[in-house]
Structure 1
Amino acid sequence: MATLCVTDMQKSVLIYILCLISFAVSAVSDSAAPPPHRRIDKIVFRNLEKRGLQPAEQVTDEVFLRRAYLDLTGSIPDHNTARKFLKKEYKGKRRQLIDHLIQSPEFADYWTLKWCDLLRVKAEFPINMWPNGVQAYAKWIHTSILQNKSYDNFAREMLTSSGSNFRVPQVNFYRGVQGEKPGDIATVAALTFMGTRLEKWPENKRKDFEAFFSRINFKGTAEWKEVIVCNDHGASEVLTTRFPDGKKVMIQAGVDPRKVFADWLISANNEWFARNIVNRAWSWFMGYGLIHEPDDIMHNSKAVYPELLACLEKEFVSSGYDMRHLFRVIMMSKVYQQSSKPHSDLPEGPELFARYPVRQVEAEVLIDALDRLSGSSDEYMSMIPEPFTFVPSRNKAVQLTDGSITSKFLKMFGRPSRDTGLESERNNAPSDDQRLHMLNSTHVQSKIEKGWKLRNLTKRSKDKKEALNIIYLSVLTRYPTDEERAAAREYVQKKGQHHGTRDVFWALINSKEFLYRH
């Protein structure tokens, strides 16, 4: 019988080929699983069909461009950006746009604003973080977002921090609280990182939770308003309490209870941590949480689509708690890219995500858009003067990190007070005062009359058709329809180029298409 002899070289070749085959099989297996944004679509659309609801149509490139800019950067694209994007014809341009915006400095600015709302970043009463603390904390938040710090590290650094609130910025998590008692701090920690309201918990569970924050000391220094936040290392007794899941824990003297809590909270199998931020993120982009309200979750709360919430949780954890990845997954879905025009008038449509929800843009976003379009600026101030409340006029409202610094416009259009960290503190509901201000205030009128930017852009264009294109692309991120173009041309001929163009601009900034996310 012949013997098969295999040389070392042949063995190497055989192993190499087997590895290639294994890799190919693995690749086929991996490709069989739909991408995460397609799983979103499958779950939502299947459930809508069961309920007899037809999803809205997919949005045009014009609407998607504007929506992506607003949702990721809190701004609207300029006319050149809009023109270039609309000219592109290739399939992956929406993904490319998301990737571009999500890495931009404007993304970091806008999401710093969002986190400053949730973390109660405010110098004055009733938070009293003081200007130096606000500056340090806001810079740390901004840097964390700019560097795409993983959310688990972002949360852990705040929960376990110790030191000066001027020199260890994340310590200001404990300064952004109305009080220094364990109950005050526990309430804020539960709201921020678990999306739950501790005051609704049974008293025994609430007291157990408060125990994790019962050994925090606050010490003043010789420097004005500086506070040292630290664990009480002098405690000599074992601290016995229970985690929110009911599991008993004994914390030895000298061990920081906050670190024990953080280890429990920030784990892959903890139902509170990832679920909270995934649910919040969904509500930020889709108007409603899968569990709604997104900051009023109880242990027995039911999601409208439990399978989708579990899917997003798993995807988020497996990504390494990557917030940008989570945002990208949501925005790439057909569910997110639906039109705001419903196929059905059933009232539950938005809550079931049968269409994109129409919402008024935030106060800061609106005033920044008006300033950019007109080439003007606004003044912001604090009611209680401090050394660091000077804000250069070139600063955008979305860059205002201190909740104490504001303006009449920001207050009127619902900027939150940052006293509680509740999502509902920001009020984007329209009001009669807002409409009157946009239509008839000297504030807005002076921007239109004196604003040089749009006037210069339209003056440079000798073609009146192109001038109208610039106005529409700048304000609404689209070209005018034939009907709009004819009406505008007739009006401008009657009123003259300057007054006619001014009035067209005024009409557009008062339209719902400009004032709302859609």
Structure 2
Amino acid sequence: SIRDNKPYDRFARELLTSNGSNFRVGPVNFYRAIQDRSPEGIATAVALTFMGCRAENWPSNTLAGMSVFFSQVNYKPTREWKEEIVFWDPDKAAAGAPQVGVLPDRTRITLTPGRDPREVFADWLITPKNDWFTANIVNRIWSWLLGRGIIHEPDDMRADNPASNPALLLFLRREFARSGCDTKHLFRLILTSRTYQLSSIIAPEKIEKAAPLFAFYPLRQLDAEVLIDAINAITGTSDLYTSAIPEPFTFIPANKPAIALPDGSITSPFLELFGRPARATGLENERVNKPSASQRMHLLNSSHIQRKFETGPNMKRLLDPARKPKETIEELYLSILSRFPTPDEIAAVESYMKSGVAKRNEVGIDLAWALINSDEFLFRH
């Protein structure tokens, strides 16, 4: 769906109204991933995911009213290992489930026998006039790209947490709806904007006031998955990912990028150290992306990173003695920083090579190691 750029309203409706086997109908895994499978638990997850609201902070009657639309969701296992069927179970209504749901806008809906109440909720959710739906997704995408939401935090939308720029949020909502809920269009619009392309250079004393105004591009360390994937691409190596939960039929190909790992429990020491979340809560702030001393020590002084530079096939190709020193230096800079070295940088590396302090191969490894520890590599800027 993401690859094919399915309209986001269709994507949301299909996911919310899905039925079937988790092996054959991918969208039902949304319901399987919810830890609290009570109607209230499902409603809380839906509100967080598609409305950007923390429903546990709502008045209890508001959450109870919304949970009615998910009161007929049921689960059953099969004989297949770990297969589970998620389905609409109208028998739950006959068993005494509430028959009147209340939408978050306080509209009361009497459930119709023979119709999945999730469809009623989904149809209300995706209407273009639903501020929660459009504001949630445009605010989330904005926060992913620019480090903070127009409403901050992006999954804490409420009346007493207003947008820092209401006009901007309204414009993006309307443009998203006008485009037919085209997420690629929204990404393109933001990425080509002057705001996204602003410099990250700003006086430290101005950061606090300027951040909500998006007056500069915020420096942010690369996400854990992106960082290890970049290092592996540079060196031509891979990492081993494992799960704390026994999964006898789980096979993670050696060349699978960390960004594509489908399960938060499948991880590695590197991913844990650099703040990849376990995805237990669904909250954006579950990811800890702030630099730490232990992270820097790992990049500077770990055998994990050292082995990649010493044994990686890409590094062996780059450090081939038959190559000219300047050619090696330039390709290392291009591979790691996506730019050519300056004349001063070339001169510094060539001087280090001629000093005899280290062999040429070791100089190349030292250079690569220094570059991946630079802020230019580690941070979006």
Work out whether the TM-score is over 0.5: yes
Deviation at 1:498, TM superposition (A): 1.3
Once the two structures are overlaid, the 10-residue window that deviates more, 387-396 or 264-273, is: 387-396
Q: 495, 504, 508: which one pairs with 2:367?
A: 504
The amino acid across from 2:375 in the alignment is: K
Cα distance change of structure 1 residues 217 and 462 upon mapping to structure 2, 3 Å threshold: closer
The 3-state SS of whatever aligns with 2:218 is: coil
Structure 1 unaligned spans of 5+: 1-143
Cα distance change of structure 1 residues 458 and 210 upon mapping to structure 2, 3 Å threshold: same
Distance 1:275 1:157 in 2: 20
The answer to whether the Cα contact below 8 Å between 2:225 and 2:271 also exists between their aligned partners in 1 is yes
The answer to whether the Cα contact below 8 Å between 2:135 and 2:173 also exists between their aligned partners in 1 is yes
The 5-angstrom pairing of residues 99-138 of structure 1 reads none
Q: 353, 366, 369: which one pairs with 2:230?
A: 369
Q: 234, 240, 249: which one pairs with 1:388?
A: 249
Are 1:378 and 2:245 counterparts?
no
Are 1:448 and 2:309 counterparts?
yes
Distance 2:204 2:311 in 1: 44
Distance 1:446 1:454 in 2: 11
Q: 320, 323, 329: which one pairs with 1:462?
A: 323
Distance 2:320 2:124 in 1: 62
Distance 1:428 1:316 in 2: 29
Distance 2:323 2:89 in 1: 72
Deviation at 1:367, TM superposition (A): 1.0
Cα distance change of structure 1 residues 351 and 455 upon mapping to structure 2, 3 Å threshold: farther
Are 1:294 and 2:154 counterparts?
yes
The answer to whether the Cα contact below 8 Å between 1:389 and 1:405 also exists between their aligned partners in 2 is no
The amino acid across from 1:342 in the alignment is: I
Distance 1:303 1:211 in 2: 30
The 3-state SS of whatever aligns with 2:56 is: helix
The answer to whether the Cα contact below 8 Å between 2:67 and 2:101 also exists between their aligned partners in 1 is no
The 3-state SS of whatever aligns with 1:219 is: strand
Deviation at 1:390, TM superposition (A): 1.9
| TM-score normalised according to structure 2 size | 0.94
Q: 240, 245, 249: which one pairs with 2:109?
A: 249
Identity within the alignment, %: 52
Distance 1:287 1:216 in 2: 36
Higher relative contact order (Cα pairs below 8 Å, separated by 6+ residues): 1
The 3-state SS of whatever aligns with 2:225 is: helix
Distance 1:169 1:334 in 2: 38
The 3-state SS of whatever aligns with 1:174 is: helix
Deviation at 1:173, TM superposition (A): 1.0
Deviation at 1:388, TM superposition (A): 3.0
Once the two structures are overlaid, the 10-residue window that deviates more, 372-381 or 490-499, is: 490-499
Q: CA RMSD in A?
A: 1.6
Are 1:259 and 2:119 counterparts?
yes
Q: Can you list the C-alpha shifts for 1:357-396, whole angstroms capped at 9, x where unaligned?
A: 1111111111111111112211111123323322121221
Are 1:164 and 2:21 counterparts?
yes
The 3-state SS of whatever aligns with 2:101 is: strand
Structure 2 unaligned spans of 5+: none
The answer to whether the Cα contact below 8 Å between 2:275 and 2:288 also exists between their aligned partners in 1 is yes
Distance 2:227 2:115 in 1: 48
Corresponding position of 1:206 = 63
Once the two structures are overlaid, the 10-residue window that deviates more, 437-446 or 334-343, is: 334-343
Distance 1:512 1:454 in 2: 21
Cα distance change of structure 1 residues 466 and 345 upon mapping to structure 2, 3 Å threshold: farther
Distance 2:252 2:348 in 1: 42
| TM-score normalised according to structure 1 size | 0.70
Deviation at 1:345, TM superposition (A): 3.5
